[in-house]
Amino acid sequence: MSDQSTLSEFDGFDTDEAAESDVVDDKLYRNEEWLRKQYVENGLSQSEIADKVSVGRGAVGNWMRKYDIETRSPAEWSANGDVEPLKDEEWLREQYCEQGMVLSEIAELIGVTAGTVSNWIHRHGIETRLRSESMTDGDVGLLSDEGWLREQYLEREKTLSEIAESTGVTTATVSNWMKRHDIETQSPTEWMTDGDVELLKDEEWLREQYLEQEKPPSEIADELNLSPGTVRNWVERYGINARSQSESQADGDINQLEDGEWLREQYCEQEKSQAEIADELNLSQVTVGRFMQMHEIEARALAEERADGNLEPLKDEEWLRDQYCEQQKSIRKIADELGLSQTPIKNWLNKHDIEFRSLLQHPEHLSHRVLGELELEVANRLHDIGVDYEYESLEIEYDDGRRYIPDFATEDYVIECKGRDWGKAFDKGYTAKDKAEAAMRQLDDREYVVVGEQLPSDIHIPRGEYKKLRELIE
């Protein structure tokens, strides 16, 4: 039977009526209008359509190809949530770039898979972050500024660790951005130097210090305010015969770090910190960090590496599941109880494959949804006070026509919840500060209130100090 004769069977057929009927013609999948509606508008998968008309999935796929119906990616086949927000490029850029949400957080927000979010990010041409950057609490936006990064590394001669610490990211993240900007890095041991390398370039002077005066690398390094490793590098460059290995190791066992397999075992399998490895080898923590980069060993999040709290309970999957899933504690609460930042909690949830709860909540006692714990806390206070308010009802334009929507608006106040200032957006440079300043310029008849992190505002209320909010509203 030809395609034309097959299609003619459906002329004048009411596809809307067929879509709602429990009895479906087993050849209906060959009708383009019906097939397109089931797949595109109703969001059914090819398997679901096949089940509906009692044919194989391959038959449905063949007719979709004949009609050039674009298929969804495998990740989107399993999405039961709302894909519509992802089609809005501006919305997706704001969530991913400005608010710094990771793919899994956006996915949970709208009830789809992280793969679906990733697909739409690529469709819109939004540059993606690396995984190490996605798990950081720091300001990646600064690293995207090539001029700033060159100034810090080349002009101010900061080490990668110092830049990482100042921006709150890992050294691996800084290194990745250096490569993106084609900024040439020094040798690992020279990264840590703040001293005078010029004298080392004088071979005659170095031979005298090392061979004739028999100074060890550590002594030469101290005189020049350099690392012993830097001195050793220059000794090797000039082909100066180094003293015995046992004598060289008197300043610390740097040779051990050259064994990438050993270092990976210490750091990844035994989960020793950089500081612990450095102490065992009588070296600086910075030296350990440099060799980890050489061997491409990704450092743990800065917050976890430097945690003063108790990380041990997080390694117990059963305990963490009980705290987060059964007792429904927030990440913030678990972090506070253990004396940690929220980053290690998120990292261990990921390690144990514990699914994050959706940031988007709609409690029964509220007439609107809320995004995150802080919004819920403020909404609960406003609800308890009994004040009339609106949620995300006010639009404020800033810069080149972008829209900023504060969280709550009452008759006298506009309230913004700010868990943290994500700093510069990934692609532009807009900040939460820019939005706050725009709000203050445009709100002539109401005061601008920020709850949480400090931002430009008429009134600032730190998180948790809700007595001030009650006093203000009442």
Contact call for residues 425 and 405 (beta carbons, < 8 A): no
- With a cut of 60, say whether residue 294 has pLDDT above it: yes
Reported as a single tens digit per residue, the pLDDT across 45-73 is 777 788 778 777 777 877 888 888 887 65
Reported as a single tens digit per residue, the pLDDT across 408-443 is 999 999 999 987 544 433 334 457 788 888 899 888
3-state secondary structure of 354: coil
Q: How far is CA 204 from CA 86, 149, 217, 235, in A?
A: 65, 36, 16, 11
* Helices marked H in 88-227: 89-93, 103-110, 114-123, 131-134, 140-143, 146-150, 160-167, 171-180, 203-207, 217-224
In this prediction, residue 155 carries a pLDDT of: 65
Nearest to 26 by CA among 57, 54, 58: 54
- With a cut of 90, say whether residue 451 has pLDDT above it: yes
- One-letter amino acid at 295 equals H
- With a cut of 70, say whether residue 126 has pLDDT above it: yes
3-state secondary structure of 450: strand
Nearest to 226 by CA among 259, 187, 255, 277: 187
Q: Where are the domains of the chain?
A: 3-71, 84-134, 140-185, 252-300, 312-351, 370-473
Which residues are CB-neighbours of 438 under 8 A, at least 6 positions away?
396, 397, 398, 399, 404
Q: What tokens does 150 get?
A: 């060159």
- Phi, psi angle pair for 77, to nearest 5°: -60, -35
Using the 8-state DSSP alphabet, how is residue 418 labeled?
E
pLDDT confidence tier of residue 444, bands split at 50, 70 and 90:
confident
CA-to-CA distance for 416 and 458, rounded, in angstroms?
Answer: 11
In this prediction, residue 63 carries a pLDDT of: 87
Reported as a single tens digit per residue, the pLDDT across 10-57 is 444 454 544 444 444 557 888 889 888 888 777 777 777 887 787 777
* Average pLDDT of every residue of the chain: 74
In this prediction, residue 156 carries a pLDDT of: 64
Its CATH architecture, for the domain 370-473, is 3-Layer(aba) Sandwich (3.40)
